[in-house]
Amino acid sequence: MYRRFSSLRERRCPQCGVLMESRGVTPKVRAEFCPECEGAWFDHGELKELLSGRITERFGKHSLETASPTDMACPDCAEPLLRRDLFLKSGVMINQCRRCSGSFVDNGNRARLKILAIALAAQRPPAGGAAGSA
């Protein structure tokens, strides 16, 4: 995936302010991880890729109505992050920037996100056609 603000050389954790470290999550997704609180920052598009394209990362009517303000700011554009459910009743809470759509996932929700990603990947039809085709 691309980094929306590629000119930035470092990111600080929105939760604790520590310098984050970039690591590959999948061959197509790199995220920044906080060595202190173990939260992760995903650029716009990275959560969608991680979850097999099954979500939209843009704020919709429902997500804006249910989002709550946080005391955290986006490490790229300094906009306040809003806390919301990744998608309706997913059980995964993210802290998202309304401006650039980057998302911070705290350590507790990272475990839930991993379980969700594995479950969605298992439901993905095989490449080259629909499941059950001959």
Mean pLDDT of the chain: 82
Average pLDDT rounded to a whole number, residues 56-64: 60
3-state SS class at 88: coil
Top-confidence range, 29-43, 47-61, 103-117: 29-43
Q: In Å, how far are 30, 41, 42, 76, 83 from 4, measured between CA atoms?
A: 12, 12, 11, 9, 21
Q: What is the pTM of this model?
A: 0.80
